[in-house]
C-alpha cells in the first residue's frame, strides 16, 4: 500500500496530530495490516519526511541492538560462574576497559556511522528499495538474509585478510586488535576506515541485491542488520557455551573462531562461516598449525625421495 493512499486517510487530522491519532486512523483504514505494519506505516505518515523517518529509526535501532546485545555479556563477565566457558578465561575485561571501549564505539557511531545510516535511505530507494506496507513474506526475508550472510562473509574474509597486510594493519586494523581477549562491546571498536571498508559488505550487499533483482524491502534490511550485529557481538563475546550455535551448525564461526583470531593475530579472517578459512588454509590455532607443519614435512620427504 502506498503512503500516498494512506495519507488521504489522515488528511483531516491536521499538523497537531499525535502518533496515536495517526495509528488509530491507519488501523481503521487498513484492517488487513498486522500491528507491526500499522505501526510502521503510522511512523512514516506521522513523520511526513521519509528520509528523516528512516534515519531516526535506523540510528535508534542500531544503538538499542548494539548496546542491548552487549549488556548480557557485560553481566556474564561480572559473574564468576560463567568463567568456565570463557575461551581465554584468565583475561576477563575490567570495568575501565569496557567503559573506554563503549565510549569510543559511541563516538564512532555518532560521527562515522551516522552519515552512512542517514544516507542509506536516499541511496537504497534510488536503486529501488521498497519501504511501504505490507511487508514481504517471511520466506523471502529469510532467503535474502541467508544470501547476505554468505556474500558478506566473503567480502569480510578478503578485506579483513588484506587488513592484516603489514602497512594496512599498522595504520588501520591495529586498533581493533587492542583487545587480545575480546568482549561483546569490542565488536565495532575499530578505525573509521575499517568501519567503512568492512561495513560496506554489510550495507553494499543489499544495495547490489536491489540493483540486480529490484526486489528488496527496508524491513529485510533491519532484520539483516540486527542478526549481523548479534553475530558480531557474540563472536567477540569470548564465550563458547555447549549450546552455542557453532555446535549445532558446524560451519558457523562463532566466538570460538574469532576469539582465536584476536588471541593469535593471524588466521580465521571470515566473519560468519568457517569455509573460507578452511578452504584457503588460513585457519588459526594449534591444530591447524600442526596440520600445516605435517603437510610441509610430508612434501619435503616426498621431494627427498624423488
Ligand atoms: Zn583482524
Ligand atoms: Zn574482532
Every domain of the chain and the residues it spans = 49-305
Q: Tell me the CA–centroid distance for residue 141 and ligand 1, in Å.
A: 30
Q: Tell me the CA–centroid distance for residue 60 and ligand 2, in Å.
A: 23
pLDDT of 115 > 70? The answer is: yes
Q: Tell me the CA–centroid distance for residue 268 and ligand 1, in Å.
A: 8
Instruction: Tell me the percentage of the chain whose pLDDT exceeds 90.
Output: 88
Q: Which ligand is nearest to the CA of 235?
A: 2
Q: How far apart are CA 145 and CA 207, in angstroms?
A: 13
Q: Which ligand is nearest to the CA of 163?
A: 1
pLDDT of 203 > 60? The answer is: yes
Residues 6+ apart with CB under 8 A from 260: 87, 267, 268, 284, 285
Report the pLDDT averaged over residues 190-195: 96
Q: Tell me the CA–centroid distance for residue 278 and ligand 2, in Å.
A: 18
Q: Tell me the CA–centroid distance for residue 200 and ligand 2, in Å.
A: 16
Q: How far apart are CA 304 and CA 45, in angstroms?
A: 77
pLDDT the model gives residue 305: 87
- Asked whether the bond before 134 is cis by omega within 30 degrees of 0, the reply is yes
Tally the residues of the chain.
306
pLDDT in tens, 76-111: 999 999 999 999 999 999 999 999 999 999 999 999
Q: Tell me the CA–centroid distance for residue 176 and ligand 2, in Å.
A: 6
> What does the mean pLDDT of the chain come to?
94
Q: CA 169, 172, 176: angle at the middle one, nearest 5?
A: 85
Q: Tell me the CA–centroid distance for residue 301 and ligand 2, in Å.
A: 38
Place of cell 526486489: 215
Neighbours of 258 (CB within 10 A): 26
pLDDT the model gives residue 64: 98
With beta carbons less than 8 A apart as the criterion, state whether 90 and 80 touch: no
Q: Tell me the CA–centroid distance for residue 17 and ligand 2, in Å.
A: 46
Query: pTM of this prediction?
Result: 0.93
Q: Tell me the CA–centroid distance for residue 16 and ligand 2, in Å.
A: 47
Q: Tell me the CA–centroid distance for residue 29 and ligand 1, in Å.
A: 52
Q: Tell me the CA–centroid distance for residue 202 and ligand 1, in Å.
A: 17
Q: How far apart are CA 178 and CA 190, in angstroms?
A: 9
Amino acid at each position: 500500500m502506498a503512503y500516498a493512499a494512506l495519507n488521504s486517510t489522515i488528511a483531516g487530522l491536521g499538523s497537531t496530530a499525535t502518533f496515536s491519532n495517526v495509528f488509530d486512523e491507519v488501523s481503521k483504514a487498513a484492517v488487513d495490516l498486522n500491528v507491526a505494519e500499522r505501526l510502521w506505516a503510522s511512523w512514516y505518515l506521522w513523520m511526513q519526511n521519509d528520509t528523516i523517518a528512516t534515519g531516526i529509526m535506523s540510528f535508534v535501532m542500531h544503538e538499542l541492538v548494539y548496546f542491548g546485545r552487549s549488556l548480557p555479556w557485560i553481566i556474564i563477565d561480572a559473574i564468576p560462574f560463567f568463567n568456565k566457558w570463557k575461551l581465554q578465561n584468565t583475561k576477563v575485561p575490567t570495568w575501565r576497559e569496557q567503559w573506554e571501549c563503549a565510549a569510543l564505539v559511541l563516538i564512532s557511531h555518532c560521527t562515522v556511522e551516522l552519515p552512512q545510516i542517514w544516507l542509506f535511505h536516499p541511496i537504497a530507494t534510488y536503486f529501488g528499495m521498497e519501504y511501504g506496507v505490507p511487508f514481504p513474506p517471511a520466506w523471502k526475508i529469510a532467503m535474502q538474509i541467508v544470501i547476505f550472510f554468505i556474500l558478506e562473509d566473503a567480502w569480510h574474509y578478503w578485506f579483513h585478510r588484506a587488513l592484516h597486510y603489514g602497512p594496512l594493519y599498522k595504520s588501520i586494523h591495529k586498533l581493533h586488535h587492542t583487545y587480545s581477549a575480546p568482549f561483546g562491546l569490542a565488536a565495532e571498536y575499530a578505525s573509521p576506515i575499517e568501519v567503512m571498508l568492512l561495513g560496506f559488505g554489510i550495507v553494499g550487499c543489499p544495495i547490489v541485491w536491489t540493483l540486480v533483482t529490484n526486489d528488496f524491502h527496508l524491513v529485510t534490511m533491519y532484520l539483516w542488520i540486527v542478526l549481523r550485529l548479534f553475530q558480531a557481538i557474540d563472536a567477540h563475546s569470548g564465550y563458547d557455551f555447549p549450546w552455542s550455535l557453532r555446535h549445532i551448525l558446524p560451519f558457523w564461526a562463532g566466538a570460538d573462531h574469532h576469539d582465536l583470531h584476536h588471541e593469535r593475530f593471524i588466521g580465521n579472517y571470515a566473519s560468519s562461516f568457517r569455509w573460507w578459512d578452511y578452504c584457503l588454509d588460513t585457519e588459526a590455532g594449534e591444530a591447524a598449525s600442526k596440520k600445516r607443519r605435517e603437510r610441509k614435512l610430508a612434501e619435503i620427504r616426498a621431494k627427498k625421495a624423488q
